[in-house]
Structure 1
Amino acid sequence: MATPAFDSTVLTRRGVLAAAAGSLLLAGCAPQGQRPDDGPSSSAPTDQDLIVGASLELTGAGALLGVAQRQALQLTADSLNRTGVPVGNLVRSVRLQILDNGSNPEVAARHAADLTRAGAQALIGGVLGETSTALAAAAQRVKTPFLSLGYGDRIVLPLEERTFTYKLTPDAVDMARRLVELFDSQKIRRVSVLAADGLHGDSGVRAMREALADSSTDLARTVRLPATGRRFRAAAERVAGSQRDGVVVWGTAPDSGVAARELRAAGHRGPIFFDAGAVADDTVQGANATAVEGAYAVHPACLDVSTATATTTAQLARRDFVNRYTQRHGVSPDFAPYASDALQLLATSARMATSLDRGRLRALLQAQTVEGIAGGYAFRADRHGGMEPDSLAVYQVFRGAWTRFA
């Protein structure tokens, strides 16, 4: 296979966003608990901290992604607390309260109420569509702003019932459109969709049908993966095609890599395409490595950090985050930047609001257009899925690594 081309071009509009974002997200501050012009003081936590509650899948089906989010939250909180977050005329510390929802939506919903009662001014979490949806509904009841890390467009819909929820992951429709553009460029004339059970898979099926309707690529078949775990061979056999047929695997790691492996075992010799939920080291390593070599994925352009020249504040912040995460945990962050961006967005909202009031924090979340670690966000009153479509890029697995494809 030829080496994929690298594309390190940065869009001008996003460069402007990045410069603006840097002044908001990375500005130096005085030590916590003081006025910005005061001298040194104790760094002990106070009851005026910015308290962020997180309900994460540290065990269960979503643990691979949930643990990465916890690590990103802790890394970003440490960074923010080196200087503090100016809120009004005081500088606050960020205090995390992290709970394990066990990948159980009912437990996640209870966490929203429990964390709010414990003083959390905002909530982060839910790497699975089901836990995120449960958190969104519960956050609405307790009127606490919630930043979702899950995949599934319905997490923030209907909008009138999700006024306190903001989703950081890309929308399915934007990922599907990029995939269809790739099909056209690669002259793929027929694809099948192998989609995960649940909300994330539902979004992918809808988005792919819509995107393919106006393209020259035919949708041959849609098959859902079983919800029972990794027994995917029967589903894979139903969509395995010839060398000229593509298969879209729409799911999240670790299931994405296992599904690709089963496709190859079932005789599929055509290209494999992933949505962003597949992008994790687990997908391209170990037993999956041979099966996914050459596969494509649509993902936010944050994976470019190792090859792009950092010329903006946001790019420097992205490179710094990746380096610190890799040094501390020994693996690449992949999915982790969403949690970092969520915490930075909340810190920025608190600065802009000059208050830790939950209602003001919510209102300021939808007034932000910023460039984060994962990509660009533009929340609005009528759009709570904020990842900008032009943050997405196409990657190909080359020698066991995600490589920008052009």
Structure 2
Amino acid sequence: MKRFAALALALLVSAGVQAQDIKIGGLLETSGFVASLGQPGLDGAMLAVEQVNAAGGINGRKVQFVNVNSESDNTKTVSAAKRLIEQEKVVAIVGPMSSGSSFAVVDTIEKARVPMISNGASRGIVLPPEQKKFTFLAPLTDVVVQTAMLKDMQAKGIKKIAILNSDVAFGTSGRDSLEKLAGDFGVQIVAKETFGNADTDISPQLTKIRGSDAQATVAWATGPGLAISTKNHRALGIKTPLYLAHSANDFNYLRLAGDSANGVLLPSSKLYVTASLPAGDAQKAVVEGFVRDYEKKYGKLPATFAGNGYDAAMLLMEAIRKAGTDPAAVRDAIEGTKSHVGVTAFYAYSPTDHFGTKPESVVMLTVKSGKFELATAQ
């Protein structure tokens, strides 16, 4: 009888272990200056987890998503990552929306050997890949989107441009990337200006750009700075085209920039223009399904950053499904992903490519009457 009781207890304990939730961590900022990106990112990640759990979880186990709000602070992001790894024992992490916070946390991730898919868009976050083996990206990267943007300029005969960037990691990384790429498309940078991420007036920098012979201006930033630069650009009567970073493909930008946004150009994911995509586009059905499910759950249309969070969570869960819950095996499975069709992009990683997103994921958008539309000249 004692033997039977001991066996029954062992089976119950074993069943409890088998049924234990799989924990995925999140470092998504729901307060502070990146909250307008982090909250949609969290909403997207939570939707992904909800969908996987509704379909039976991963190999019969439910997924638990544990997000720690870093308050858009780099130091707090590092503390949050340590908490997720050491206390919550997460298998993998959906990383910050902020490039700066992503850079700040990479050392912690690599030392702990727990995979993270960051939502920062600076390629430097994962470079060089042989030193950042556990760090990957989900968003469209600066090189991918800038290539689409420079091709658009090339088609329009634009040969001289000015760069206006914010002083945070996303802005400076984007500027550095554009400086390296421009020459390949016959484009010369004739003016460079930087503004503070908290600046409320960028007119002095744009006045200098207006005095140059630039045929177009590229503004590279996140948050309110893009809307402020757009308004100041219009107020100064600058008639040459204004190109924006892909971070402008956000409803908050439209709200803050108002009528000034009409006519801007930006590289983007396909999230806002699914109705204009051809029926054969492999992302069309995926994006339409995401938009439908997101609107049903949250009562509003998703921002681009929601798609980033959704993709990062789905990529992690797909890797866990293939590899189990050992973080090193999950890392290998992410790196072995070759054909994931996501909301933001087509994803294919490799030992030398932790960016993931492919060029065919990008379209050029403009704004008309306060709405995003496909630009006529691609």
Question: TM-score by structure 1 length?
Answer: 0.83
1:387 to 1:211, Cα distance in 2 relative to 1, 3 A: same
**Whole-Å Cα distance in 2 between the matches of residues 94 and 236 of structure 1?**
49
Displacement of 1:314 in angstroms is 4.8
Displacement of 1:189 in angstroms is 3.1
Alignment RMSD: 2.2
Q: For 1:63, which of 23, 35, 41 is the aligned residue?
A: 35
The answer on 1:301 being equivalent to 2:270 is: yes
Q: Give 1:205's aligned amino acid.
A: R
Give runs of aligned pairs for residues 148-187 of structure 1, distance below 5 A: 148-187=118-157
**Whole-Å Cα distance in 2 between the matches of residues 214 and 116 of structure 1?**
42
Q: For 1:323, which of 292, 299, 307 is the aligned residue?
A: 292
The answer as to whether partners of 1:299 and 1:394 remain within 8 angstroms in 2 is: yes
The answer as to whether partners of 1:64 and 1:254 remain within 8 angstroms in 2 is: no
Structure in which a larger fraction of residues adopt helix: 2
The answer on 1:389 being equivalent to 2:356 is: no
Q: Give 2:267's aligned amino acid.
A: V
The answer as to whether partners of 2:165 and 2:221 remain within 8 angstroms in 1 is: yes
Provide, for residues 218-262 of structure 1, a one-character-per-residue CA deviation record: whole Å limited to 9, x for no partner: 312011121334332322222236898211011123321221112
1:145 to 1:395, Cα distance in 2 relative to 1, 3 A: same
The answer on 1:77 being equivalent to 2:46 is: no
How many residue pairs are counted as aligned between the two chains?
358
1:322 to 1:45, Cα distance in 2 relative to 1, 3 A: farther
Provide, for residues 184-221 of structure 1, a one-character-per-residue CA deviation record: whole Å limited to 9, x for no partner: 21222321011121221222112222222233333120
**Whole-Å Cα distance in 2 between the matches of residues 105 and 68 of structure 1?**
19
Consecutive unaligned residues of structure 1, counting only runs of 5 or more, are: 1-43
Match in the other structure for 2:307: 337
Consecutive unaligned residues of structure 2, counting only runs of 5 or more, are: 1-15
The answer as to whether partners of 1:253 and 1:279 remain within 8 angstroms in 2 is: no
The higher radius of gyration belongs to 2
Report sequence identity in percent. 21
**Whole-Å Cα distance in 2 between the matches of residues 153 and 182 of structure 1?**
22
Give runs of aligned pairs for residues 111-260 of structure 1, distance below 5 A: 111-117=80-86, 118-240=88-210, 245-260=215-230
The answer as to whether partners of 1:375 and 1:387 remain within 8 angstroms in 2 is: yes
The answer as to whether partners of 2:162 and 2:190 remain within 8 angstroms in 1 is: yes
The DSSP-based 3-state class of the residue aligned with 1:383 is: coil
Displacement of 1:45 in angstroms is 11
Match in the other structure for 1:105: 74
**Whole-Å Cα distance in 2 between the matches of residues 180 and 273 of structure 1?**
10
Provide, for residues 122-144 of structure 1, a one-character-per-residue CA deviation record: whole Å limited to 9, x for no partner: 11121111111122221111111
